[in-house]
Amino acid sequence: MAGHGGLVVLGGTMGAYDAGHYPWLLPTQRLIAEAVVQETPFLGLCLGHQLAAVALGGSVTLRPQGPSRGLVPMTGTEQLADDPLFRGMPRQGPTVAFNADVVDTLPRGAVVLGRDPFGHPHLVRYAPRAWGAQFHPEVTSAMFAAWARMKAVSEAEAEEAAAMITEVSTALPRIDTLWQTTMRSFFRQVRGPGHEHGGHGDRGET
């Protein structure tokens, strides 16, 4: 992380334990751990969130209820109001998810800031300057449409995908408004005092 002001790790079609097929997953986990130790601002989204959990001593498993795709409501915990990054978020709000895995064991010291309807960690503070989200605040309508259509192999699935695409597209303006303030707060942390500069990647699926 030398010379860098922050780290953002996004999603992908692979899972957190798929290093045998994607060798870059292990160095990415080491990079996340390094950022946390150095208190370099970190944000993991979907797969990035899962990689952070594993890198810091937690674990990930297949979501018992099956893949989570489309609009997923999040309920904030009491700790949400005290979080330096997310305290401006409402206790209830929509998110866009596209994942088959979830974090099932949190690393020591991690704080759950929000949960999905089944109680899975949906938003987590892993360390004072490190956060993970099981959802996709960065998604656009076109991106989600591509993901949904990619998974639709039957006529029934295509109809379901079309309905999801419409639902997500309708909700995105509100989601974008909610997240703009939070993302500005994160990148202010990335710049930090005297800095001018600002991942890669579900079975956390995209």
For residue 192, the model assigns a pLDDT of 63
For residue 46, the model assigns a pLDDT of 97
pLDDT band, very low/low/confident/very high, at 155 (cuts 50, 70, 90): confident
CA 146 to chain centre: 18
Could you read off the pLDDT of 122-140 as tens digits, one per residue?
999 999 999 999 999 999 9
Mean pLDDT over residues 36-62, rounded? 97
Statement: residue 174 has pLDDT above 80: yes
For residue 198, the model assigns a pLDDT of 38
Percent of the chain with pLDDT over 90: 75
Statement: residue 169 has pLDDT above 80: yes
For residue 179, the model assigns a pLDDT of 86
Helices 155-191 and 141-151, packing angle to 10 deg: 140
Choose between 2 and 69: higher pLDDT. Answer: 69
Choose between 189 and 45: higher pLDDT. Answer: 45
Total Cβ atoms within 10 A of residue 194: 5
